[in-house]
């Protein structure tokens, strides 16, 4: 990785963090980080000499080579990246951000010169086109410079600790915060129990991460070096192998409109009896170097209109993904009104667009911060829905480095809303884009969210997210009792095949007493098969029913934990089938080798609730597999 640039490069991707797990990896990281100041000093010296003389020394070339960011880095899966490269990313971040920050703060270089240096370093360290580097850096510069000016004490090491955790260790304590959690009964055991399956269940369709790309070009070039391919920008493919199909592509390609529309129509056709529709964000493409407010709004309008046309008057509950921000991932707090960096345009647009689905009472917080709550749903009197804008946990949202007070606000609102729900005897579904437990959220935010889950796990009956593009789940364990399962989240997969999965959507069957999920289905089509029959529409298939497939008594947290701890962690077959489920049976994923360590790696994504908290995961990922 490397610097502003490295940072910026990462904004481009879905962005998976790395996870250092072994003691040895952590020891090597700390050792390298101890020497990173020397590296930063040497890099600064060589780089500034180059700026003066126009000549690059061999030492500078070597340092740049060490800091190379491969395209793979931005899209590779958590456990698959080499630990050395992960650690080097932190050193590189400190060196490049350190240099640029010092030059800017000292007045040696002005804003335009810093931007030009950043573009130069982006070109040096990545495979991206000049146009991509230039576009990304110019889009993000105003946000970054505003934050750097407003926080004169912010250091490069602090910034890298936030963006790159855990490669740079825990985020700096300067970013820490706590919210007020009301006292509640102690946690006495795992959350168990469920309502038997019955004919009266609520059926919910979950669609996420469509990533509609208006520039998608059928027959276009799918093998480009940029954050997203298959666009008009890249021209027509010169070989069959590099050709973008009508029904998507496993490489870094978003969705043509037909894919988005087909997924919505298939979901409705196959489940005309669905009661509720959850859509959990990332409607916008990965063309992060050329997003505009108008372009994002045009995509959102087209998507919401299609949802309305296909599902008619059915209740729809949407949330915002990181790609809805412009520039990508950026969500400024509500008191920022400068139109260049403010997020008001998005919150205002969301309030207007969502008014067709949400009551007026829910729109006040949408206008303020893109989140809301709804209760008294017709037909489901005790169900409350909370739609979070949890981009303010996202490591790539630079504004998480701006103000702890701002970041705490929505979580405090979540807590207060749950407290009121508890008093009213309600059960709650939480919708968000980014799994609160995953590697995308910074650790302090995840920890505070866990404190809320600990307190209110009895009434939180379901959590639903997207973002990872994987069709998967995560179990929440009590913070102080890491073996006690008290909640879990379902991640819906993705409509797009960006990143290598097949397009899918999920369906949940929920009881009407405690509103817990009794069964989860996933439906998908094969990109390979669909593109072999381009003239006809894809064939959608039921992939699996989770409870039925694994033969579980119910889908309570206790039951899922029992399955993961005692079956999945010891069974190659269970891990293999889960791997297939996660990618929606993608040929791209399933054709790659996956040894026992790779299979076991999935157990950590299921059981980790906070970056660097590997207690549960370490307990269950060393069993012999049979
Ligand atoms: Zn996404």
Domain chopping of the chain, boundaries: 4-175, 202-216+254-620
Whether 29 shows a pLDDT value over 90: the answer reads no
- Ligand 1 geometric centre to CA of 559 (Å): 29
Which has more pLDDT, 70 or 85? 85
- Ligand 1 geometric centre to CA of 448 (Å): 24
Whether 246 shows a pLDDT value over 50: the answer reads yes
Closest to 396 measured CA to CA, from 15, 75, 118: 15
For residues 131-158, give the mean pLDDT.
Answer: 95
Indicate the pLDDT class of residue 167, thresholds 50, 70 and 90.
Answer: confident
For residues 331-342, give the mean pLDDT.
Answer: 94
Place of tokens 């069709």: 471
- Cβ proximity of 117 and 100 under 8 Å: yes
Whether 500 shows a pLDDT value over 60: the answer reads yes
Helix, strand, coil abundance in the chain, percent, nearest 5: 45, 15, 40
For residues 455-470, give the mean pLDDT.
Answer: 97
pLDDT digits 0-9 by tens, 175-224: 999 999 999 999 999 999 999 999 999 999 999 999 999 999 999 999 99
- Ligand 1 geometric centre to CA of 15 (Å): 9
Q: Are strands 383-387 and 372-374 parallel, antiparallel or unpaired?
A: antiparallel
pLDDT at residue number 20? 52
Three-state DSSP at 289 gives coil
Give CA–CA dist 519/199, Å, rounded.
Answer: 13
Whether 324 shows a pLDDT value over 90: the answer reads yes
Whether 79 shows a pLDDT value over 70: the answer reads no
Give the up-direction half-sphere exposure of residue 396: CA atoms within 13 A in the CB hemisphere.
27
- Ligand 1 geometric centre to CA of 211 (Å): 7
For domain 202-216+254-620, the CATH superfamily is Metallo-dependent phosphatases (3.60.21.10)
- Ligand 1 geometric centre to CA of 467 (Å): 5
Q: Which of 4-13, 65-74, 103-112, 615-624 has the lowest mean pLDDT?
A: 4-13
pLDDT at residue number 90? 85
- Ligand 1 geometric centre to CA of 209 (Å): 5
Overall pTM surpassing 0.85 (yes/no) = yes
Give strand ranges (E) for 460-536: 460-465, 471-477, 485-492, 504-510, 517-524
pLDDT above 70 covers a percentage of the chain that reads: 94
- Ligand 1 geometric centre to CA of 324 (Å): 10
- Ligand 1 geometric centre to CA of 470 (Å): 10
Indicate the pLDDT class of residue 77, thresholds 50, 70 and 90.
Answer: very low
282 is in an annotated binding site: yes
For residues 238-245, give the mean pLDDT.
Answer: 95
Whether 143 shows a pLDDT value over 60: the answer reads yes
For residues 598-623, give the mean pLDDT.
Answer: 92
Which has more pLDDT, 273 or 30? 273
Give the tokens for residue 511.
């009881």
Indicate the pLDDT class of residue 160, thresholds 50, 70 and 90.
Answer: very high
- Ligand 1 geometric centre to CA of 251 (Å): 14
- The neighbourhood of ligand 1, an ion, using CB within 5 A, equals 209, 282
For residues 349-360, give the mean pLDDT.
Answer: 98
pLDDT at residue number 71? 54
- Ligand 1 geometric centre to CA of 469 (Å): 6
Which has more pLDDT, 100 or 91? 100
pLDDT at residue number 10? 37
Indicate the pLDDT class of residue 4, thresholds 50, 70 and 90.
Answer: very low
- Ligand 1 geometric centre to CA of 262 (Å): 18
For residues 39-44, give the mean pLDDT.
Answer: 89
- Ligand 1 geometric centre to CA of 14 (Å): 6
- Ligand 1 geometric centre to CA of 466 (Å): 7
Which has more pLDDT, 83 or 430? 430
335 is in an annotated binding site: no
For residues 600-617, give the mean pLDDT.
Answer: 91
Indicate the pLDDT class of residue 85, thresholds 50, 70 and 90.
Answer: confident
Whether 512 shows a pLDDT value over 50: the answer reads yes
Give the tokens for residue 411.
């979580």
- Ligand 1 geometric centre to CA of 436 (Å): 15
Give CA–CA dist 526/539, Å, rounded.
Answer: 8
Which has more pLDDT, 507 or 6? 507
- Ligand 1 geometric centre to CA of 111 (Å): 31
Indicate the pLDDT class of residue 3, thresholds 50, 70 and 90.
Answer: very low
- Ligand 1 geometric centre to CA of 133 (Å): 21
Q: Which residues are CB-neighbours of 230 under 8 A, at least 6 positions away?
A: 213, 216, 217, 220, 221, 222, 244, 249, 251, 253, 254
Give CA–CA dist 75/374, Å, rounded.
Answer: 35
Whether 1 shows a pLDDT value over 60: the answer reads no
Whether 506 shows a pLDDT value over 80: the answer reads yes
- Ligand 1 geometric centre to CA of 156 (Å): 28
209 is in an annotated binding site: yes
CA angle 15, 19, 23 (to 5 degrees): 165
- Ligand 1 geometric centre to CA of 509 (Å): 25
Give the tokens for residue 239.
């070989």
Whether 70 shows a pLDDT value over 80: the answer reads no
- Ligand 1 geometric centre to CA of 282 (Å): 5
pLDDT digits 0-9 by tens, 408-440: 999 999 999 999 999 999 999 999 999 999 889
- Ligand 1 geometric centre to CA of 101 (Å): 30
Three-state DSSP at 112 gives helix
- Ligand 1 geometric centre to CA of 497 (Å): 10
pLDDT at residue number 81? 54
pLDDT at residue number 12? 31
Q: Which of 23-37, 319-333, 374-388, 494-508 has the lowest mean pLDDT?
A: 23-37
433 is in an annotated binding site: yes
Whether 17 shows a pLDDT value over 70: the answer reads no
Cis preceding-peptide flag for 228 (omega within 30 of 0): no
For residues 135-160, give the mean pLDDT.
Answer: 95
Whether 541 shows a pLDDT value over 80: the answer reads yes
Whether 355 shows a pLDDT value over 50: the answer reads yes
For residues 115-137, give the mean pLDDT.
Answer: 91
């Amino acid at each position: 990785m490397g610097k502003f640039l490295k940072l910026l490069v990462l904004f481009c991707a879905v962005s998976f963090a790395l996870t250092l797990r072994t003691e040895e990896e952590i020891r090597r990281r700390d050792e390298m980080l101890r020497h990173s100041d020397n590296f930063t000093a040497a890099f600064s010296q060589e780089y500034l000499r180059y700026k003066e003389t126009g000549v690059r020394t061999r030492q500078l070339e070597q340092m740049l080579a060490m800091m190379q960011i491969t395209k793979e880095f931005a899209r590779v899966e958590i456990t698959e990246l080499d630990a050395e490269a992960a650690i080097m990313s932190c050193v590189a971040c400190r060196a490049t951000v350190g240099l640029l920050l010092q030059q800017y703060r000292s007045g040696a270089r002005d804003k335009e010169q810093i931007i030009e240096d950043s573009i130069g370093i982006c070109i040096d360290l990545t495979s991206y086109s000049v146009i991509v580097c230039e576009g990304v850096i110019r889009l993000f510069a105003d946000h970054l410079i505003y934050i750097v000016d407003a926080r004169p004490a912010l250091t490069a090491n602090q910034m890298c600790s936030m963006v790159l955790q855990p490669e740079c260790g825990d985020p700096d304590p300067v970013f820490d915060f706590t919210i007020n959690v009301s006292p509640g009964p102690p946690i006495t055991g795992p959350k168990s129990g469920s309502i038997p399956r019955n004919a009266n269940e609520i059926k919910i369709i979950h669609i996420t991460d469509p990533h509609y790309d208006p520039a998608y070009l059928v027959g276009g070039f799918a093998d480009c070096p940029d954050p997203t391919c298959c666009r008009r920008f890249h021209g027509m493919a010169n070989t069959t192998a590099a050709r973008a199909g009508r029904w998507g592509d496993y490489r870094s390609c978003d969705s043509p409109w037909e894919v988005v529309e087909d997924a919505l129509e298939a979901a409705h056709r196959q489940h005309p009896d669905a009661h509720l529709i959850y859509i959990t964000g990332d409607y916008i493409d990965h063309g992060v170097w050329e997003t505009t407010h108008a372009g994002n709004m045009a995509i959102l309008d087209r998507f919401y209109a299609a949802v309305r046309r296909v599902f008619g008057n059915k209740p729809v509950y949407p949330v915002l993904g990181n790609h809805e921000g412009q520039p990508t991932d950026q969500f400024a707090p509500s008191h920022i009104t400068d139109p260049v960096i403010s997020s008001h345009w998005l919150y205002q647009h969301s309030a207007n667009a969502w008014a067709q689905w949400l009551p007026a009472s829910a729109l006040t917080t949408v206008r303020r911060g893109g989140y809301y709550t709804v209760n008294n749903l017709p037909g489901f009197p005790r169900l409350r829905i909370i739609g979070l804008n949890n981009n303010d946990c996202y490591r790539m949202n630079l504004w998480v480095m701006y103000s702890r007070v701002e970041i705490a606000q929505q979580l405090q609102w979540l807590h207060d809303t749950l407290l009121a729900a508890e008093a009213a005897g309600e059960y709650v579904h939480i919708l968000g884009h980014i799994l609160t437990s995953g590697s995308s959220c910074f650790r302090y935010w995840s920890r505070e969210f866990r404190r809320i889950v600990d307190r209110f796990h009895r009434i939180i009956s379901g959590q639903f997210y997207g973002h990872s593009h994987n069709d998967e789940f995560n179990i929440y364990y009590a913070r102080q009792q890491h073996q006690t399962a008290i909640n879990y989240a379902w991640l819906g997969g993705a409509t797009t095949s960006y990143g290598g999965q097949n397009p899918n959507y999920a369906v949940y069957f929920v009881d009407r007493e405690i509103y817990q999920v009794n069964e989860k289905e996933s439906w998908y089509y094969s990109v390979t098969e669909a593109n072999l029959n381009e003239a006809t529409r894809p064939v959608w298939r039921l992939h699996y029913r989770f409870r039925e497939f694994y033969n579980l008594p119910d889908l309570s947290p206790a039951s899922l934990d029992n399955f993961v701890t005692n079956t999945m962690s010891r069974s190659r077959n269970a891990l293999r089938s889960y791997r297939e489920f996660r990618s929606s049976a993608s040929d791209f994923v399933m054709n790659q080798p996956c040894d026992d360590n790779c299979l076991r790696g999935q157990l950590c994504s299921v059981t980790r609730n906070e970056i660097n908290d590997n207690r549960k995961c370490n307990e269950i990922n060393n069993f012999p597999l049979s």
